Structure 1
Amino acid sequence: MLPFPNDIFTRKLLTVPSLPPYPLPSPREAHLWCIVPDEVKCGSLLNQYLKILSPCERQAVFGLNGAKLQKGALLARTLVRTTLSRYTQSKIKPQSLRFSKNTYGKPQVVWQHEEGWIPPCLHFNISHSSSLVACAVTVDLQVGIDVEDKQRKLKHDVLSFARRFFSPNEVEFLHGTSDPLIQQQEFVKLWTLKEAYVKALGRGFSAAPFRNFTVRHQASRIAVEVHSDSENLTENWQFALLELPTHYASICVEKAGEKEGDGNDSLKLKVWRTIPFVEDECISETDVV
Protein backbone atom coordinates (compact mmCIF):
# COMPACT_ATOMS: atom_id res chain seq x y z
CA MET A 1 0.00 0.00 0.00
CA LEU A 2 1.18 3.52 -0.73
CA PRO A 3 2.59 4.81 2.60
CA PHE A 4 1.35 8.40 2.80
CA PRO A 5 0.03 10.20 5.91
CA ASN A 6 -3.37 11.81 6.38
CA ASP A 7 -3.77 15.58 6.57
CA ILE A 8 -6.30 18.37 6.20
CA PHE A 9 -7.41 17.11 2.76
CA THR A 10 -9.32 14.32 4.52
CA ARG A 11 -11.88 16.84 5.78
CA LYS A 12 -12.09 18.52 2.38
CA LEU A 13 -12.73 15.17 0.71
CA LEU A 14 -15.77 14.58 2.90
CA THR A 15 -17.28 17.89 1.76
CA VAL A 16 -16.54 17.41 -1.97
CA PRO A 17 -17.96 13.94 -2.78
CA SER A 18 -18.24 14.46 -6.53
CA LEU A 19 -16.47 16.21 -9.37
CA PRO A 20 -17.82 19.52 -10.66
CA PRO A 21 -18.81 19.22 -14.35
CA TYR A 22 -17.10 21.36 -16.97
CA PRO A 23 -18.23 22.52 -20.43
CA LEU A 24 -16.66 20.72 -23.36
CA PRO A 25 -13.74 22.32 -25.16
CA SER A 26 -14.86 24.34 -28.18
CA PRO A 27 -13.90 23.21 -31.73
CA ARG A 28 -10.62 25.16 -31.62
CA GLU A 29 -9.82 24.69 -27.96
CA ALA A 30 -7.69 22.38 -25.82
CA HIS A 31 -7.98 21.90 -22.08
CA LEU A 32 -4.98 21.00 -19.95
CA TRP A 33 -5.32 19.59 -16.43
CA CYS A 34 -2.26 19.31 -14.16
CA ILE A 35 -1.45 17.65 -10.85
CA VAL A 36 1.66 18.48 -8.82
CA PRO A 37 2.40 15.18 -7.00
CA ASP A 38 4.03 16.89 -4.01
CA GLU A 39 0.73 18.67 -3.32
CA VAL A 40 -1.13 15.37 -2.87
CA LYS A 41 -0.11 14.06 0.55
CA CYS A 42 -3.31 12.70 2.07
CA GLY A 43 -3.38 8.93 2.56
CA SER A 44 -7.19 8.82 2.54
CA LEU A 45 -7.27 10.75 -0.72
CA LEU A 46 -4.75 8.41 -2.37
CA ASN A 47 -6.84 5.45 -1.25
CA GLN A 48 -9.88 7.12 -2.79
CA TYR A 49 -7.95 7.39 -6.05
CA LEU A 50 -7.12 3.68 -5.92
CA LYS A 51 -10.82 2.85 -5.70
CA ILE A 52 -11.62 4.46 -9.06
CA LEU A 53 -8.93 2.51 -10.93
CA SER A 54 -9.66 -0.76 -12.68
CA PRO A 55 -8.15 -3.97 -11.24
CA CYS A 56 -5.59 -4.03 -14.07
CA GLU A 57 -4.61 -0.42 -13.38
CA ARG A 58 -4.18 -1.10 -9.67
CA GLN A 59 -2.06 -4.13 -10.46
CA ALA A 60 0.11 -2.01 -12.76
CA VAL A 61 0.53 0.66 -10.08
CA PHE A 62 1.65 -1.78 -7.40
CA GLY A 63 3.87 -3.58 -9.88
CA LEU A 64 6.16 -0.55 -10.02
CA ASN A 65 9.27 -0.40 -7.86
CA GLY A 66 9.05 2.25 -5.13
CA ALA A 67 6.40 4.51 -3.63
CA LYS A 68 7.31 7.51 -5.81
CA LEU A 69 6.78 5.64 -9.08
CA GLN A 70 3.61 4.07 -7.72
CA LYS A 71 2.24 7.46 -6.72
CA GLY A 72 3.05 8.97 -10.12
CA ALA A 73 1.27 6.15 -11.95
CA LEU A 74 -1.71 6.38 -9.60
CA LEU A 75 -2.05 10.13 -10.14
CA ALA A 76 -1.74 9.76 -13.92
CA ARG A 77 -4.58 7.23 -14.13
CA THR A 78 -6.65 9.23 -11.64
CA LEU A 79 -6.20 12.42 -13.64
CA VAL A 80 -7.38 10.75 -16.86
CA ARG A 81 -10.46 9.24 -15.24
CA THR A 82 -11.53 12.29 -13.24
CA THR A 83 -10.85 14.69 -16.12
CA LEU A 84 -12.88 12.77 -18.69
CA SER A 85 -15.71 12.24 -16.21
CA ARG A 86 -16.06 16.01 -15.77
CA TYR A 87 -17.11 16.36 -19.41
CA THR A 88 -19.96 13.83 -19.17
CA GLN A 89 -22.07 16.13 -16.97
CA SER A 90 -22.01 13.47 -14.22
CA LYS A 91 -23.40 10.80 -16.57
CA ILE A 92 -20.31 8.59 -16.26
CA LYS A 93 -18.41 8.23 -12.99
CA PRO A 94 -14.60 8.03 -13.10
CA GLN A 95 -14.56 4.38 -12.02
CA SER A 96 -17.04 3.45 -14.78
CA LEU A 97 -14.88 4.61 -17.67
CA ARG A 98 -13.45 1.94 -19.96
CA PHE A 99 -10.43 2.23 -22.23
CA SER A 100 -8.84 0.50 -25.19
CA LYS A 101 -5.70 1.07 -27.26
CA ASN A 102 -5.31 1.60 -30.98
CA THR A 103 -3.03 -0.54 -33.13
CA TYR A 104 0.00 1.45 -32.01
CA GLY A 105 -0.85 1.48 -28.30
CA LYS A 106 -2.41 4.95 -27.90
CA PRO A 107 -5.16 4.86 -25.22
CA GLN A 108 -8.70 5.89 -26.10
CA VAL A 109 -11.95 5.92 -24.18
CA VAL A 110 -14.69 3.37 -24.92
CA TRP A 111 -18.02 4.97 -24.10
CA GLN A 112 -20.95 3.15 -22.57
CA HIS A 113 -24.02 4.52 -24.31
CA GLU A 114 -26.99 5.48 -22.19
CA GLU A 115 -30.50 6.07 -23.46
CA GLY A 116 -31.07 9.73 -24.27
CA TRP A 117 -27.39 10.65 -24.02
CA ILE A 118 -24.81 10.87 -26.79
CA PRO A 119 -21.24 10.71 -25.44
CA PRO A 120 -18.86 13.47 -26.52
CA CYS A 121 -16.11 12.64 -29.00
CA LEU A 122 -13.32 13.31 -26.52
CA HIS A 123 -9.66 12.81 -27.30
CA PHE A 124 -7.04 12.85 -24.57
CA ASN A 125 -3.37 12.33 -23.94
CA ILE A 126 -1.32 12.05 -20.77
CA SER A 127 2.26 12.93 -19.86
CA HIS A 128 4.08 12.99 -16.56
CA SER A 129 7.44 13.57 -14.97
CA SER A 130 8.44 12.96 -11.36
CA SER A 131 7.04 16.37 -10.38
CA LEU A 132 4.13 17.03 -12.77
CA VAL A 133 1.24 15.05 -14.26
CA ALA A 134 -0.69 16.55 -17.18
CA CYS A 135 -3.70 15.51 -19.26
CA ALA A 136 -4.79 17.30 -22.46
CA VAL A 137 -8.37 17.05 -23.77
CA THR A 138 -10.01 18.06 -27.05
CA VAL A 139 -13.28 17.35 -28.85
CA ASP A 140 -13.17 15.66 -32.29
CA LEU A 141 -9.46 16.48 -32.75
CA GLN A 142 -6.47 14.24 -32.05
CA VAL A 143 -4.16 15.60 -29.35
CA GLY A 144 -0.72 14.87 -27.92
CA ILE A 145 1.11 16.33 -24.93
CA ASP A 146 4.56 16.15 -23.42
CA VAL A 147 5.95 17.75 -20.27
CA GLU A 148 9.62 17.97 -19.37
CA ASP A 149 11.43 19.43 -16.39
CA LYS A 150 13.21 22.67 -17.30
CA GLN A 151 16.29 21.39 -15.50
CA ARG A 152 16.34 18.06 -17.34
CA LYS A 153 19.90 16.75 -17.36
CA LEU A 154 21.46 14.92 -20.28
CA LYS A 155 24.16 12.31 -19.95
CA HIS A 156 25.77 13.62 -23.12
CA ASP A 157 26.50 16.97 -24.71
CA VAL A 158 23.34 18.66 -26.05
CA LEU A 159 24.54 18.74 -29.65
CA SER A 160 25.79 15.15 -29.55
CA PHE A 161 22.42 14.01 -28.27
CA ALA A 162 20.56 16.15 -30.82
CA ARG A 163 22.57 14.69 -33.72
CA ARG A 164 21.34 11.23 -32.74
CA PHE A 165 17.64 12.11 -32.67
CA PHE A 166 16.89 15.48 -34.28
CA SER A 167 16.70 16.54 -37.92
CA PRO A 168 19.68 18.36 -39.49
CA ASN A 169 17.75 21.65 -39.47
CA GLU A 170 17.07 21.34 -35.74
CA VAL A 171 20.70 20.47 -35.01
CA GLU A 172 21.76 23.53 -37.00
CA PHE A 173 19.35 25.69 -34.98
CA LEU A 174 20.79 24.44 -31.69
CA HIS A 175 24.35 24.80 -32.97
CA GLY A 176 23.63 28.47 -33.68
CA THR A 177 22.70 29.03 -30.03
CA SER A 178 25.99 29.87 -28.34
CA ASP A 179 24.80 30.31 -24.75
CA PRO A 180 24.90 26.81 -23.12
CA LEU A 181 21.94 27.52 -20.83
CA ILE A 182 19.74 28.80 -23.65
CA GLN A 183 20.86 25.91 -25.84
CA GLN A 184 19.78 23.47 -23.13
CA GLN A 185 16.41 25.20 -22.80
CA GLU A 186 15.82 25.20 -26.56
CA PHE A 187 16.69 21.52 -26.71
CA VAL A 188 14.11 20.67 -24.05
CA LYS A 189 11.47 22.79 -25.80
CA LEU A 190 12.13 21.06 -29.12
CA TRP A 191 11.99 17.66 -27.46
CA THR A 192 8.57 18.36 -25.93
CA LEU A 193 7.21 19.69 -29.24
CA LYS A 194 8.44 16.68 -31.19
CA GLU A 195 7.17 14.18 -28.64
CA ALA A 196 3.76 15.88 -28.47
CA TYR A 197 3.51 15.64 -32.27
CA VAL A 198 4.37 11.94 -32.33
CA LYS A 199 1.89 11.22 -29.54
CA ALA A 200 -0.85 13.18 -31.35
CA LEU A 201 -0.28 11.11 -34.49
CA GLY A 202 -0.92 8.02 -32.39
CA ARG A 203 1.28 5.81 -34.56
CA GLY A 204 4.07 5.06 -32.12
CA PHE A 205 7.66 6.23 -32.16
CA SER A 206 8.79 3.53 -34.58
CA ALA A 207 6.40 4.90 -37.22
CA ALA A 208 7.44 8.52 -36.61
CA PRO A 209 11.19 8.76 -35.88
CA PHE A 210 12.25 12.17 -34.61
CA ARG A 211 14.73 12.61 -37.47
CA ASN A 212 11.98 12.31 -40.10
CA PHE A 213 10.41 15.70 -39.37
CA THR A 214 11.44 19.20 -38.34
CA VAL A 215 9.69 21.46 -35.85
CA ARG A 216 10.13 25.13 -36.74
CA HIS A 217 9.91 27.04 -33.50
CA GLN A 218 9.76 30.80 -33.92
CA ALA A 219 8.43 33.56 -31.68
CA SER A 220 4.98 33.80 -33.26
CA ARG A 221 4.56 30.42 -34.94
CA ILE A 222 5.32 26.74 -34.42
CA ALA A 223 4.96 24.39 -37.37
CA VAL A 224 6.03 20.92 -38.40
CA GLU A 225 7.74 20.14 -41.70
CA VAL A 226 7.62 16.53 -42.86
CA HIS A 227 10.46 15.12 -44.93
CA SER A 228 9.45 13.90 -48.37
CA ASP A 229 10.15 10.23 -47.62
CA SER A 230 7.95 10.09 -44.49
CA GLU A 231 4.63 8.60 -45.60
CA ASN A 232 3.09 8.25 -42.14
CA LEU A 233 3.52 11.89 -41.13
CA THR A 234 1.31 14.91 -41.83
CA GLU A 235 1.61 18.68 -41.36
CA ASN A 236 -2.00 19.56 -40.47
CA TRP A 237 -1.28 20.33 -36.80
CA GLN A 238 -1.22 23.23 -34.36
CA PHE A 239 1.11 23.61 -31.39
CA ALA A 240 1.15 25.33 -28.03
CA LEU A 241 4.31 25.65 -25.96
CA LEU A 242 3.76 26.58 -22.31
CA GLU A 243 6.33 27.68 -19.78
CA LEU A 244 5.09 26.46 -16.41
CA PRO A 245 6.94 27.25 -13.15
CA THR A 246 9.14 24.14 -13.31
CA HIS A 247 8.31 22.55 -16.67
CA TYR A 248 7.87 23.10 -20.37
CA ALA A 249 4.63 21.66 -21.72
CA SER A 250 3.89 21.21 -25.41
CA ILE A 251 0.49 20.39 -26.87
CA CYS A 252 -0.10 19.30 -30.46
CA VAL A 253 -3.66 19.40 -31.81
CA GLU A 254 -5.02 18.35 -35.16
CA LYS A 255 -6.22 21.36 -37.16
CA ALA A 256 -9.97 21.59 -37.52
CA GLY A 257 -11.39 21.55 -41.04
CA GLU A 258 -11.56 25.14 -42.17
CA LYS A 259 -14.01 26.71 -44.55
CA GLU A 260 -12.58 28.57 -47.50
CA GLY A 261 -11.69 32.10 -46.50
CA ASP A 262 -11.70 31.33 -42.80
CA GLY A 263 -8.39 32.70 -41.60
CA ASN A 264 -9.08 32.33 -37.89
CA ASP A 265 -6.94 29.31 -37.04
CA SER A 266 -5.90 30.28 -33.51
CA LEU A 267 -6.01 27.60 -30.85
CA LYS A 268 -7.52 28.53 -27.50
CA LEU A 269 -5.98 26.93 -24.44
CA LYS A 270 -7.22 26.66 -20.85
CA VAL A 271 -5.03 25.27 -18.08
CA TRP A 272 -6.18 23.97 -14.69
CA ARG A 273 -4.22 22.95 -11.64
CA THR A 274 -6.15 20.32 -9.74
CA ILE A 275 -6.24 17.96 -6.80
CA PRO A 276 -9.17 15.75 -7.87
CA PHE A 277 -12.09 15.72 -5.39
CA VAL A 278 -10.47 18.59 -3.47
CA GLU A 279 -9.89 21.72 -5.55
CA ASP A 280 -9.50 23.07 -9.08
CA GLU A 281 -7.83 26.32 -10.11
CA CYS A 282 -7.81 27.82 -13.60
CA ILE A 283 -4.28 29.19 -13.95
CA SER A 284 -4.19 30.22 -17.62
CA GLU A 285 -6.53 31.06 -20.47
CA THR A 286 -5.04 32.25 -23.73
CA ASP A 287 -5.04 32.10 -27.53
CA VAL A 288 -2.03 30.57 -29.25
CA VAL A 289 -1.22 30.06 -32.94
Structure 2
Amino acid sequence: MIIYYNSDFTGGRAESRRLLERAISEYTGDPGRAALLISGLKTGEKGKPYIEGFDHFSVSHTGGIWAVIIGERECGLDIQLGKDCDVRAISRRLYADEDADKICGIEDISEARDEFFRLWTRREALTKAIGGSVYEPDLPSVSAGRVTAGGRYYIITDIRFPGMPDLYSAMCLEDCECRDQDGPEFIALG
Protein backbone atom coordinates (compact mmCIF):
# COMPACT_ATOMS: atom_id res chain seq x y z
CA MET A 1 0.00 0.00 0.00
CA ILE A 2 1.24 3.46 -0.87
CA ILE A 3 -0.13 6.73 0.48
CA TYR A 4 0.38 9.82 -1.67
CA TYR A 5 -0.34 13.16 -0.04
CA ASN A 6 -0.26 16.91 -0.62
CA SER A 7 -0.35 19.58 2.08
CA ASP A 8 -1.23 22.49 -0.25
CA PHE A 9 -4.76 21.35 -1.12
CA THR A 10 -7.11 24.28 -1.64
CA GLY A 11 -10.21 22.16 -2.12
CA GLY A 12 -12.59 21.22 -4.87
CA ARG A 13 -13.34 18.22 -7.02
CA ALA A 14 -11.15 19.37 -9.94
CA GLU A 15 -8.05 19.73 -7.77
CA SER A 16 -8.72 16.41 -6.06
CA ARG A 17 -9.04 14.71 -9.45
CA ARG A 18 -5.78 16.34 -10.63
CA LEU A 19 -3.96 15.10 -7.51
CA LEU A 20 -5.43 11.62 -7.96
CA GLU A 21 -4.15 11.58 -11.54
CA ARG A 22 -0.66 12.61 -10.32
CA ALA A 23 -0.72 9.87 -7.69
CA ILE A 24 -1.80 7.25 -10.25
CA SER A 25 0.93 8.49 -12.60
CA GLU A 26 3.52 8.01 -9.82
CA TYR A 27 2.05 4.62 -8.89
CA THR A 28 2.00 3.26 -12.45
CA GLY A 29 5.04 5.16 -13.74
CA ASP A 30 2.98 5.99 -16.84
CA PRO A 31 1.42 9.50 -17.11
CA GLY A 32 -0.47 8.59 -20.29
CA ARG A 33 -2.06 5.56 -18.65
CA ALA A 34 -2.93 7.67 -15.59
CA ALA A 35 -4.82 10.18 -17.75
CA LEU A 36 -6.69 7.34 -19.47
CA LEU A 37 -7.54 5.69 -16.15
CA ILE A 38 -8.80 8.96 -14.64
CA SER A 39 -11.12 9.44 -17.61
CA GLY A 40 -12.82 6.20 -16.53
CA LEU A 41 -13.39 7.24 -12.91
CA LYS A 42 -16.77 5.97 -11.68
CA THR A 43 -18.67 5.73 -8.42
CA GLY A 44 -20.45 2.74 -6.95
CA GLU A 45 -24.06 2.74 -5.77
CA LYS A 46 -23.09 4.23 -2.39
CA GLY A 47 -20.65 6.75 -3.89
CA LYS A 48 -17.36 4.87 -3.52
CA PRO A 49 -15.03 5.89 -6.39
CA TYR A 50 -13.35 3.21 -8.49
CA ILE A 51 -11.59 2.76 -11.81
CA GLU A 52 -12.19 -0.45 -13.76
CA GLY A 53 -8.93 -2.26 -14.48
CA PHE A 54 -7.02 -0.44 -11.74
CA ASP A 55 -6.07 -1.24 -8.16
CA HIS A 56 -8.15 -0.17 -5.18
CA PHE A 57 -7.84 3.36 -3.79
CA SER A 58 -9.39 5.69 -1.23
CA VAL A 59 -9.16 9.50 -1.12
CA SER A 60 -9.46 11.73 1.95
CA HIS A 61 -8.91 15.42 2.66
CA THR A 62 -9.15 17.81 5.58
CA GLY A 63 -8.14 21.44 5.85
CA GLY A 64 -5.30 21.90 3.36
CA ILE A 65 -4.26 18.24 3.30
CA TRP A 66 -5.20 15.72 0.59
CA ALA A 67 -4.25 12.02 0.54
CA VAL A 68 -4.94 8.79 -1.32
CA ILE A 69 -4.04 5.20 -0.48
CA ILE A 70 -3.55 2.83 -3.44
CA GLY A 71 -3.03 -0.92 -3.35
CA GLU A 72 -4.05 -4.35 -4.54
CA ARG A 73 -6.84 -4.96 -2.01
CA GLU A 74 -9.89 -3.15 -0.68
CA CYS A 75 -8.79 -0.16 1.34
CA GLY A 76 -10.06 2.91 3.13
CA LEU A 77 -8.21 6.01 4.30
CA ASP A 78 -9.34 8.86 6.50
CA ILE A 79 -7.52 11.95 7.69
CA GLN A 80 -8.99 14.52 10.04
CA LEU A 81 -7.89 17.68 11.76
CA GLY A 82 -9.57 17.81 15.17
CA LYS A 83 -12.17 20.47 15.85
CA ASP A 84 -14.38 21.54 18.72
CA CYS A 85 -17.59 19.54 18.92
CA ASP A 86 -19.63 17.64 21.50
CA VAL A 87 -17.66 14.40 21.19
CA ARG A 88 -19.73 12.56 23.79
CA ALA A 89 -23.10 13.35 22.18
CA ILE A 90 -21.86 12.55 18.68
CA SER A 91 -20.28 9.27 19.79
CA ARG A 92 -23.53 8.24 21.54
CA ARG A 93 -25.46 8.97 18.34
CA LEU A 94 -23.11 7.40 15.79
CA TYR A 95 -20.63 5.00 17.36
CA ALA A 96 -21.01 1.38 18.40
CA ASP A 97 -21.90 1.19 22.12
CA GLU A 98 -18.44 -0.10 23.04
CA ASP A 99 -16.73 2.86 21.36
CA ALA A 100 -19.19 5.44 22.74
CA ASP A 101 -18.80 4.02 26.26
CA LYS A 102 -15.04 4.31 25.94
CA ILE A 103 -15.21 8.00 24.94
CA CYS A 104 -17.88 8.91 27.50
CA GLY A 105 -15.87 7.17 30.23
CA ILE A 106 -12.87 9.47 29.76
CA GLU A 107 -13.15 12.36 32.23
CA ASP A 108 -10.57 14.69 30.69
CA ILE A 109 -12.27 16.35 27.69
CA SER A 110 -8.97 16.73 25.81
CA GLU A 111 -8.29 12.99 26.12
CA ALA A 112 -11.91 12.20 25.19
CA ARG A 113 -11.53 14.42 22.10
CA ASP A 114 -8.32 12.63 21.08
CA GLU A 115 -10.00 9.24 21.41
CA PHE A 116 -13.10 10.48 19.58
CA PHE A 117 -11.09 11.59 16.52
CA ARG A 118 -8.88 8.49 16.63
CA LEU A 119 -12.00 6.31 16.50
CA TRP A 120 -13.66 8.63 13.95
CA THR A 121 -10.84 8.15 11.45
CA ARG A 122 -10.87 4.39 12.05
CA ARG A 123 -14.65 4.31 11.51
CA GLU A 124 -14.43 6.44 8.37
CA ALA A 125 -11.57 4.31 6.98
CA LEU A 126 -13.68 1.17 7.50
CA THR A 127 -16.73 2.68 5.81
CA LYS A 128 -14.61 3.76 2.86
CA ALA A 129 -13.15 0.25 2.53
CA ILE A 130 -16.60 -1.35 2.52
CA GLY A 131 -18.18 1.40 0.42
CA GLY A 132 -20.60 2.50 3.14
CA SER A 133 -21.37 5.54 5.25
CA VAL A 134 -20.35 6.58 8.77
CA TYR A 135 -24.07 7.06 9.44
CA GLU A 136 -24.86 3.36 8.96
CA PRO A 137 -26.39 2.14 12.22
CA ASP A 138 -24.82 -1.31 12.43
CA LEU A 139 -21.12 -0.61 12.03
CA PRO A 140 -19.01 -2.64 14.45
CA SER A 141 -16.73 -1.25 17.12
CA VAL A 142 -13.50 -0.01 15.56
CA SER A 143 -11.44 -0.10 18.79
CA ALA A 144 -9.89 -3.44 17.87
CA GLY A 145 -7.39 -3.85 15.07
CA ARG A 146 -9.43 -6.52 13.26
CA VAL A 147 -13.15 -6.18 12.55
CA THR A 148 -15.82 -7.99 10.57
CA ALA A 149 -18.14 -6.05 8.27
CA GLY A 150 -20.35 -7.41 5.53
CA GLY A 151 -19.03 -10.93 6.16
CA ARG A 152 -15.42 -9.89 5.43
CA TYR A 153 -12.47 -9.22 7.71
CA TYR A 154 -10.61 -5.91 7.82
CA ILE A 155 -7.50 -4.64 9.59
CA ILE A 156 -7.72 -1.04 10.88
CA THR A 157 -4.52 0.79 11.77
CA ASP A 158 -3.81 4.26 13.15
CA ILE A 159 -1.15 5.90 11.00
CA ARG A 160 1.04 9.00 11.31
CA PHE A 161 1.82 11.21 8.35
CA PRO A 162 5.40 12.55 8.22
CA GLY A 163 5.65 15.99 9.86
CA MET A 164 1.92 16.19 10.73
CA PRO A 165 1.59 15.34 14.45
CA ASP A 166 -1.84 17.02 14.79
CA LEU A 167 -3.44 14.99 12.00
CA TYR A 168 -5.64 12.08 13.04
CA SER A 169 -5.46 9.34 10.44
CA ALA A 170 -6.26 5.68 9.92
CA MET A 171 -6.24 3.13 7.14
CA CYS A 172 -8.35 0.02 6.73
CA LEU A 173 -7.33 -2.93 4.56
CA GLU A 174 -9.21 -6.07 3.66
CA ASP A 175 -7.58 -8.84 5.68
CA CYS A 176 -6.05 -11.64 3.65
CA GLU A 177 -3.04 -13.93 3.62
CA CYS A 178 -1.16 -11.33 1.60
CA ARG A 179 -1.09 -8.97 4.60
CA ASP A 180 1.65 -6.35 4.42
CA GLN A 181 4.28 -6.80 7.12
CA ASP A 182 5.19 -3.11 7.26
CA GLY A 183 3.13 0.07 7.33
CA PRO A 184 2.36 2.06 4.21
CA GLU A 185 4.95 3.94 2.20
CA PHE A 186 4.33 7.71 2.18
CA ILE A 187 5.09 9.78 -0.95
CA ALA A 188 4.61 13.56 -0.97
CA LEU A 189 3.16 15.11 -4.13
CA GLY A 190 4.80 18.54 -4.27
Q: TM-score range by the shorter chain?
A: 0.7 to 0.9
Alignment of 1:105-254 (within 5 A): 105-111=47-53, 121-139=54-72, 141-149=73-81, 151-154=82-85, 157-202=86-131, 204-205=132-133, 209=136, 211-217=138-144, 222-224=145-147, 233-244=150-161, 245=164, 246-254=166-174
Match of 1:212, SS state, is: coil
The count of residues paired between Structure 1 and Structure 2 equals 185
Match of 1:186, SS state, is: helix
Letter in 1 for 2:169: A
Q: CA deviation at 1:213?
A: 1.1
Q: CA deviation at 1:146?
A: 0.8
Deviations along 1:179-238, one digit per CA (max 9) or x if unpaired, are: 111110110010110011011012x328x7155311124xxxx23256xxxxxx235111
Match of 2:189, SS state, is: strand
Q: Which has the higher contact order (CA 8 A, sep 6+)?
A: 2
* Rg larger in structure: 1
Q: CA deviation at 1:166?
A: 0.7
* Larger deviation, residues 191-200 vs 102-111: 102-111
Task: Output the aligned Cα RMSD.
Answer: 2.4
- Work out the percentage of aligned pairs sharing the same amino acid: 21
Separation (CA, whole Å) in 1 of partners of 2:18 and 2:98: 39
Separation (CA, whole Å) in 2 of partners of 1:87 and 1:142: 16
Separation (CA, whole Å) in 2 of partners of 1:210 and 1:32: 29
Task: Judge conservation of contact 1:238–1:267 (CA < 8 Å) in 2.
Answer: no
Separation (CA, whole Å) in 1 of partners of 2:29 and 2:139: 41
Q: Are 2:3 and 1:86 equivalent residues in the alignment?
A: no
Deviating runs (4+, > 3 A) in structure 1? 91-94, 264-268
Q: Are 2:36 and 1:96 equivalent residues in the alignment?
A: yes
Letter in 2 for 1:78: R
Equivalent residue, structure 2, for 1:31: 2
Q: Are 2:187 and 1:272 equivalent residues in the alignment?
A: yes
Separation (CA, whole Å) in 2 of partners of 1:82 and 1:225: 33
Taking structure 1 as the reference length, what is the TM-score of the superposition?
A: 0.58
Match of 2:83, SS state, is: coil
Structure 2: give runs of 5+ residues left out of the alignment.
none
